[in-house]
Amino acid sequence: MAIELNHPALRNARALVREGKVVRDDRDAWSEAAPTAAQENRFIDDHGWTQYSHWHLGIDKDADPHTKEAYFFPFGDFTRVHRSGVISGESRAGQYGHTEIRDELHKLLELIDEE
């Protein structure tokens, strides 16, 4: 498994922040704010796998792109970026040695906090 930075998702996250589509919550809020499996399934049914992928900063290019197992480091609720999701992802990416993803999440957090 080789998790890489998902560039289309990063572009999506930056655009959402610039548009003001951000929830400025605390880190601990992510456990409540993160989409449930049912919400993820509904989003996939309504919008497809490509749009689903745009909500995850990590992607395993070796995995089947039509499975949830291919996507890592979610950052929002399919409508807005959650500050708590960005913080959570930054921490987990750092824990597992995904430095490029960690660094981009850190920059995204700075962008959120600038706005």
Single-letter residue type at 113: D
pLDDT digits (tens, 9 = 90+) for 31-90: 899 999 999 999 999 999 999 999 999 999 999 999 999 999 999 999 999 999 999 999
Residue 26 pLDDT grade (very low, low, confident, very high; cuts 50, 70, 90) = confident
The pTM (predicted TM-score) of the whole model is: 0.93
Domain with 53 in it? 3-114
Q: Into how many domains does the chain fold?
A: 1
Give the pLDDT score at 28. 85
Residue 115 has pLDDT above 70, yes or no: no
Contact (Cβ atoms closer than 8 angstroms) between residue 22 and residue 76: no
- Sequence-separated (6 or more) residues with CB below 8 Å from residue 22: 16, 80, 81, 82, 83, 112, 115
